[in-house]
Amino acid sequence: MGADELGAALRQTRLAKGLSQSALAERARVSRNFVAQIERGESTPTVATIARLAAALGVTVGELLGEEAPAGGPSDAVAVALVADRIAAGSPLVLADHVERHELLPRSLLRDLGVDGANALLVRVGTDQDSMADTIPPGATVLLDRGPVRQVVPRGIYAVREETAGETGCTIKRLVLDAASRVLILLSDNPGHLPRALRLRSGQPLSDVIVGRVVWWTPPAPRPVQR
């Protein structure tokens, strides 16, 4: 979908929802001028911004992009498992009782993000997880690429396993790997959280600790306005 088509689709959906540009901008946490530029086809938002706009409009990304398949017809969507911030302790990473539901994501979105549909996983961050709040708000849903992690992109955002009260949970952090000492440094975007170090055992693969690379996220759906 080109910039002009996206702009027209955004404007049509916004008007159908009875929202002004200012109201949509406030919900999506962008400027009204940016919304206007997108609708005029003058700006192309990132996938994360498209996701915020879709959430603010109360539609899926696929619906906003016009990529939802007709009922009963062939689908260009991929069913991706959604779990809360609790994950399985062993292999496979996700057990059946950890999957809350499956979400349909446009295959084109996964392709643009460089994610094989078989390696895609959605994780809903806990509402108390604020260590990345300046970037990824608590309660957000993140899309992980669970492809083999052979190296860590310095300061890239990853989902990492951690033990909490006897359960294996999932925390979102920026990572730096000191390959010589085999120490992972976990960094937060919230200055209220200090860095943590995690030492890997000799021969321990990164996949034992890293659940996947965060490639996209959508914020929590806005709460209904109380009148």
SS3 breakdown of the chain: % helix, strand, coil, rounded to 5? 25, 30, 45
The answer to pTM > 0.75 is: no
pLDDT over threshold 80, residue 88: no
**220: exposed, middle or buried (Cβ count in 10 Å: 0-12, 13-18, 19+):** middle
- Which value, in Å, is the radius of gyration of the alpha carbons in the chain? 19
Higher pLDDT, 29 or 109: 109
Q: What whole-number distance in Å separates Cα of residue 217 and Cα of residue 227?
A: 30
pLDDT tens-digit series, residues 33-86? 999 999 998 887 877 678 778 877 877 777 787 755 444 334 577 888 888 877
Q: What angle do CA 75, 81, 95 make, to 5 degrees?
A: 140
Confidence of residue 173 (pLDDT cuts 50, 70, 90): very high
Residue 210 CB coordination number (10 Å): 20
Confidence of residue 167 (pLDDT cuts 50, 70, 90): low
Q: What whole-number distance in Å separates Cα of residue 153 and Cα of residue 166?
A: 30
The domain covering 77-218 belongs, at the CATH homologous superfamily level, to Umud Fragment, subunit A (2.10.109.10)
pLDDT over threshold 80, residue 91: no
Task: Please tell us whether the domain made up of 3-65 is placed in CATH 1.10.167.10.
Answer: no
Q: What angle do CA 26, 45, 52 make, to 5 degrees?
A: 40
| Domain range annotation of the chain | 3-65, 77-218
- Asked if residue 80 lies in contact with residue 216, where contact means CB atoms within 8 angstroms, the answer is no
Decide whether 3-65 matches 77-218 in CATH topology: no
Beta strand residue intervals within the chain, DSSP E: 77-83, 99-106, 120-124, 141-145, 156-164, 167-178, 183-187, 196-199, 210-218
Res 164: pLDDT = 63
pLDDT tens-digit series, residues 100-155? 777 888 888 888 888 988 888 899 888 888 999 989 988 899 999 988 888 899 99
Longest C-alpha distance within the chain, in Å?
59
Res 153: pLDDT = 93
Helix (H) or strand (E) holding 64: helix 61-65
